[in-house]
Amino acid sequence: MQTVTNLTVNGTPLNVERISQEVMRRLLARQSPESAAPVAVARNSHLELEVPIGVSVRHVHLCPEHVEILFGKGHDLTIFNELYQKGYYAAQEQVMVVGRKRAIEKVRVLGPPRPYSQVELSQTDALVLGMKLPIATNGADPACQPITLVGPEGNVNLIGQGQGGAFIARRHIHLSDDTAAQIGVKSGDMLDLRIDGPRPTTLHGILVRTKAGWRTEVHLDTDEGNAVGIRSGQMGTLIIPRHEA
């Protein structure tokens, strides 16, 4: 029998049988005789709402000034396709995003332009680029990281520090003011989202964002979508706590 030599107890190498015994010993040692059995807790009832999910691929939002630096003086973004949220679109324009270790080419610009430029990436993208990125809601978050954008006509260095930068988008749900009022939630609330299917999962901390006219839609990033086996357009179940009157 092969001996595994990298696990030892008191300097003695362990073989497979000894490892099993050691694992059992450690597990049993955790159970104190007086520890009570787990107690089931009754929860207040909640509301459930079927909601569409959009999986956001890495993308860039640009301020008008940066559109001109990257794509030329007087340039306006051109629509590639409309997004589910009315008034928002994926633009024809793409940029290269340059991190510390590597760059990612052809990152889509989303319109319309915004007050701050920002780069929304997944954790997988962050690893590729060699960057440590915060979870944030927008580029005005001071934790956002500096990053460089390269366009056909010029480059832009986003400086972070709350003035535009790179981050991983916090999972969130878009709701109209009316829908939010109907289901009794407000901007800034955190909800749960249950995903049924072959990889059943409940995601916590879905940030509520509200604006008049928004269509109900959860936004996850590609890492989250892949982890729970979901693609854009599929549905999830929003769990809405019902507060006691």
Residues that bind Zn ion (CB under 5 A): 219
Looking at the Cβ atoms of 59 and 219, the one nearer to Zn ion is 219
Looking at the Cβ atoms of 66 and 174, the one nearer to Zn ion is 174
Looking at the Cβ atoms of 61 and 219, the one nearer to Zn ion is 219
Looking at the Cβ atoms of 147 and 220, the one nearer to Zn ion is 220
Largest CA distance in the chain: 75
Give 145's DSSP letter.
B
In whole angstroms, the minimum distance from the beta carbon of 141 to Zn ion comes to: 15
Which residue is nearest to Zn ion, using beta carbons?
219
In whole angstroms, the minimum distance from the beta carbon of 172 to Zn ion comes to: 6
Which helix (H) or strand (E) is 182 found in, with range? helix 177-183
CB atoms within 10 A of CB 98: 17
In whole angstroms, the minimum distance from the beta carbon of 43 to Zn ion comes to: 29
In whole angstroms, the minimum distance from the beta carbon of 194 to Zn ion comes to: 19
In whole angstroms, the minimum distance from the beta carbon of 115 to Zn ion comes to: 16
Contact between residue 219 and residue 208 where contact means Cβ atoms under 8 Å apart: no
Looking at the Cβ atoms of 61 and 66, the one nearer to Zn ion is 61
Residues 6+ apart with CB under 8 A from 88: 82, 110, 111, 112
Q: Which is nearest to 97 in space by CA: 156, 141, 142, 144?
A: 156
> What is the rounded distance in angstroms from the CA atom of residue 222 to the CA atom of residue 108?
14
Looking at the Cβ atoms of 58 and 219, the one nearer to Zn ion is 219
Which helix (H) or strand (E) is 217 found in, with range? strand 217-221
Contact between residue 40 and residue 75 where contact means Cβ atoms under 8 Å apart: no
Contact between residue 169 and residue 220 where contact means Cβ atoms under 8 Å apart: no
In whole angstroms, the minimum distance from the beta carbon of 97 to Zn ion comes to: 19
